[in-house]
Chains A and B, each alone.
Chain A
Amino acid sequence: MSADYGAQETVLRLTGITRRFGATLANDAIDLTLKRGEVLALLGENGAGKTTLMNILFGQYAADSGTVEVFGKPLPPGNPAAALSAGLGMVHQHFTLADNLTVLDNILLGTVPLWRAGFGRAAARARVLTLSRDFGLAVDPEARVGDLSVGERQRVEILKALYRDVRILILDEPTAVLTPQESDALFATLRSAVAGGLSVIFISHKLHEVMAASSRVLVLRHGRVVGQVATAGTTREALAAMMVGAELRKATVTPGTPGPVLLQLRGVHTSKDAAGKDDRIGGLRGIDLALRGGQITGIAGVSGNGQAALSDLLSGLLAPQAGTLDLGGTAQGQWSPRRALTAGIGRIPEDRHKTGTIAEFTLTENVILERYAEAPFARAGVMDWAAARRVTDDLIRRFDVRCEGPDGVIRLLSGGNMQKLILGRVLDTAPRIILANQPVRGLDIGAISYVHGQLVAARDAGAAVLLISEDLDEIMELSDIIHVMSEGRLSPPFARGSMTAAQIGLWMAGQGFDEGATDAA
């Protein structure tokens, strides 16, 4: 309906936008137009230049050349305030919220002239509540942002934009941090927003979301526009080909050959996870789990149901309070991250920015984080940086990490390249057990199939892989054995292909657990 209404009116026009970062050409003469009431998907792999382009539009960076016109008027470059007052609103991939302030404070920030004596908080609060009801964005205005879930924080970001009467809303990879249910809720919100006359730019690299949410698609590759199509007239395959520049070969995963049990949990209870964040369910409640070599064991479930505690347990950050943890048939009395490492557990942490890497350290330093005190990296207590750099160079080459070199700061890598380096760091030690917690969250399809391929290869070499993921498709495609996690409990093992997605969904909602373990499955 809204697609017809005012379809002629161009609300946004970018012309010849070019921006360099050092030697990289992030945006190369990009043209883009947005019409009223449409959802334009900006599709491209990580590093294709989507985020840079939007940051230029929003005034976070200035373009080296090119112009931006909003509602027919040119926008001064490098000026977020001008972009805001022109009616542009952006929800960043990494939220720009202050954790220690309330939701209302975050929304009000910058909306009232600084020299005014007060806010009119009551009126502002009422308006926020109206907006959140009209757009289905339920959130408590008085809650502290740091206490909210990721999905709720994103709602705050969108409310922030709506509160400012934005007419063009830019969403940068909005679903990267959301559960499938939260993503669906977001799409519903976007539909009602567009029906209300808003125009949306939706940045993503997930094809099914682009197909579901957009009316037109603009594809970027290596900083250039490589295609522009109406969503109705294209297919996922065609978009994927445009995005990566070649037909994508879909890896079919052959079943693994079960080896010996390398790790066994019996009746394990834990406290909440090590960071103490995931305390809604208060830790694991009597978990039985056997990890065999040569198999991928998948843990399905909505995050926040004990995955963090399970992951921390295998990482050595958390010890069982009751029950036993056996490694290769030996019960572990003392348990620590160091013991987990020496026992041959390789860890791919859930949050590559916070726990996977140290942002300000170089690639080399990050590569040897777990092994810095061992030969060849340290001899007689002195670091051998040449050896460390050789290993890093080797990993960069073998795992196709696009970067400036081993001495660059890891913070500057894109998510996919950072994850490839972490994967390389883990696989380089030939671990017997690999903990892969959300290993492809936020990655583009090229990087996803690469990471999956490497995990399968490690499995075929005899490693036991524990894959924790919220993406049920990923779990069902890769896993030889599937467990479902719900409220700190673990379902019995299900063999590959023995369960449909719908059946697993019932376990996720906690249904099978109540019937007792005997007649389960």
Chain B
Amino acid sequence: MSALWDILLTASFWAAAIRIASPLIFATMGELICERAGVLNLGIEGIMVIGAFSGWMAVYMGAGLWGGVVTAMLAGMLFGLLHATLTVPFGLSQHVVGLGVTLLATSTSYFAYRLILPEVTSPPRIEPFQPYEIPYLSEIPLLGPALFSQTPLTYAAFACAALVALVLYRTPLGLALRAAGESPAAVAAQGLSVTGLRMGAVIVGSGLMAVGGAFLTLSAFSSFFFEMVNGRGWICIALVVFGAWRPGKAVLGALLFAAFDALQIRLQQTPIGQVVPYQMFLMAPYILSILALIVMSRRAEVPAALMVPYRKGER
């Protein structure tokens, strides 16, 4: 028990949790925007891969780090455009299109990697984002090193969540977006374009997912590996449900999951880790997430028109 407290009371543990949460927050916000407008985007896993790859490759080829972020976002938006075109105006199955986009984006990344770096055995490294200590705030004991000594991209993740919440709940655009996910007929009756709103949401949301992927190569690690996204996209799908489609609660969910993840790594080093196989620790965040999901999401209000294609003039 004391080992647990020792971990929980260190700044490095909380710093790690926030670092692990950052890519999840970007991608969860992206997915949340899509689902709030009525489109389930299962392309998220692949879009994170293409974001991780393209951002890293842009920096490797000489772009700045922010140039890498923008490149990743544009690549994500491109795949978002593909997803949106197939699911919104064509009204195809969102599940099938989403899985297809994931497979396509993932294999495109791997293919491009091999094409550009045919002879390479271990991927080249780049110089990633460095932690930026916010003046004064970073000097607060415990909180300072945990919260205010992160990389700029982490600060951006939290700013992004705040912006998404602001737009969704405080602007006409956000209202129209939410209405498109609740009752497309109501949106159309008020003279707004359901197609435009949904496509816009999917494209922008996919851009954010790709930035979440790019966080892995530009901020967390300094290189691109196959399988590096490793199911984070699927976790984000669950986080949206966990957060009951609300940005604030989704961020809390991401932090909770990340804290479990950071904890299990540290618990492996303690005496408990000598007896329990490490695979059990790897499983722990997922098991705890499932439990939290069951507890939290039973009363969640699903957007009423989620996964319902809208066809104009249909009786």
Closest 3 CB pairs of A and B: A110-B190, A81-B191, A98-B182
Flag the segment in A111-119, A307-315, A465-473, A495-503 that touches B.
A111-119
- Of A55, A96, A98, A112, chain B has the most CB atoms within 10 Å of the CB of A98
A109's partner among B192, B303, B313 (CB-CB below 8 A) is B192
16 contacts between A and B (CB under 8 A): A60-B188, A61-B313, A85-B191, A92-B185, A96-B183, A96-B190, A97-B186, A99-B183, A99-B304, A109-B186, A110-B176, A111-B190, A114-B172, A118-B170, A119-B170, A119-B172
| Residue B209, interface by CB 8 Å | no
A90's partner among B171, B176, B189 (CB-CB below 8 A) is B189
With A98-B182, A99-B182, A100-B304 already in contact, the answer to whether A110 and B171 are too (CB < 8 A) is no
Whether A109 contacts B187 by the Cβ 8 Å rule is yes
Specify the chain B residue showing the minimal Cβ separation from A108. Answer: B175
Interface positions, chain B 143-180, Cβ under 8 Å from A, are: 170-173, 175-176, 178-179
Return the CB mask of A234-250 against B: 1 if under 8 Å, else 0: 00000000000000000
| Residue A106, interface by CB 8 Å | yes
Least CB distance, A402 to chain B, in whole angstroms: 15
A60 to B187, CA, bound (A): 12
Number of interface residues of B (CB under 8 A): 24
Least CB distance, A60 to chain B, in whole angstroms: 6
| Residue A412, interface by CB 8 Å | yes
- Provide the main secondary structure of the chain B interface: helix
Whether B182 contacts A101 by the Cβ 8 Å rule is yes
- Of B170, B179, B185, chain A has the most CB atoms within 10 Å of the CB of B179
A412 to B304, CA, bound (A): 22
Whether A84 contacts B190 by the Cβ 8 Å rule is yes
| Residue B315, interface by CB 8 Å | yes
Chain B residues within 8 Å of A105, by CB:
175, 179
A90 to B189, CA, bound (A): 8
Least CB distance, B76 to chain A, in whole angstroms: 22
Whether B303 contacts A100 by the Cβ 8 Å rule is yes
| Residue B114, interface by CB 8 Å | no
Least CB distance, B159 to chain A, in whole angstroms: 17
Chain B residues within 8 Å of A92, by CB:
185, 189
Least CB distance, A94 to chain B, in whole angstroms: 8
Whether B172 contacts A112 by the Cβ 8 Å rule is yes
A77 to B176, CA, bound (A): 24
Specify the chain A residue showing the minimal Cβ separation from B183. Answer: A98
Chain A residues within 8 Å of B125, by CB:
none
A116 to B303, CA, bound (A): 24
Chain B residues within 8 Å of A80, by CB:
188-189, 191
Whether A100 contacts B301 by the Cβ 8 Å rule is yes
Chain A residues within 8 Å of B188, by CB:
60, 80, 96
Whether B172 contacts A98 by the Cβ 8 Å rule is no
Chain A residues within 8 Å of B312, by CB:
60
Return the CB mask of A40-73 against B: 1 if under 8 Å, else 0: 0000000000000001000011000000000000
- Since A85-B191, A100-B182, A109-B187 are in contact, a sample of 14 more A-B pairs with Cβ atoms closer than 8 Å, ordered by chain A residue number, is A80-B189, A96-B186, A96-B189, A98-B183, A98-B304, A99-B182, A100-B303, A106-B186, A109-B192, A117-B171, A118-B171, A119-B171, A119-B172, A411-B315
Least CB distance, B306 to chain A, in whole angstroms: 11
- Of B178, B186, B187, chain A has the most CB atoms within 10 Å of the CB of B186
Specify the chain B residue showing the minimal Cβ separation from A117. Answer: B171
A60 to B173, CA, bound (A): 22
With A114-B172, A114-B173 already in contact, the answer to whether A101 and B179 are too (CB < 8 A) is yes
Least CB distance, B40 to chain A, in whole angstroms: 17
Chain A residues within 8 Å of B172, by CB:
108, 112-116, 118-119
A113 to B191, CA, bound (A): 11
Chain B residues within 8 Å of A106, by CB:
179, 186
- Of B171, B178, B191, chain A has the most CB atoms within 10 Å of the CB of B191
- Of B178, B187, B189, chain A has the most CB atoms within 10 Å of the CB of B189
Interface positions, chain B 242-274, Cβ under 8 Å from A, are: none
Chain A residues within 8 Å of B170, by CB:
118-119
Specify the chain A residue showing the minimal Cβ separation from B177. Answer: A114
Chain B residues within 8 Å of A412, by CB:
315
Least CB distance, B250 to chain A, in whole angstroms: 17
A6 to B33, CA, bound (A): 50
A428 to B242, CA, bound (A): 48
Interface positions, chain A 244-287, Cβ under 8 Å from B, are: none
A223 to B186, CA, bound (A): 27
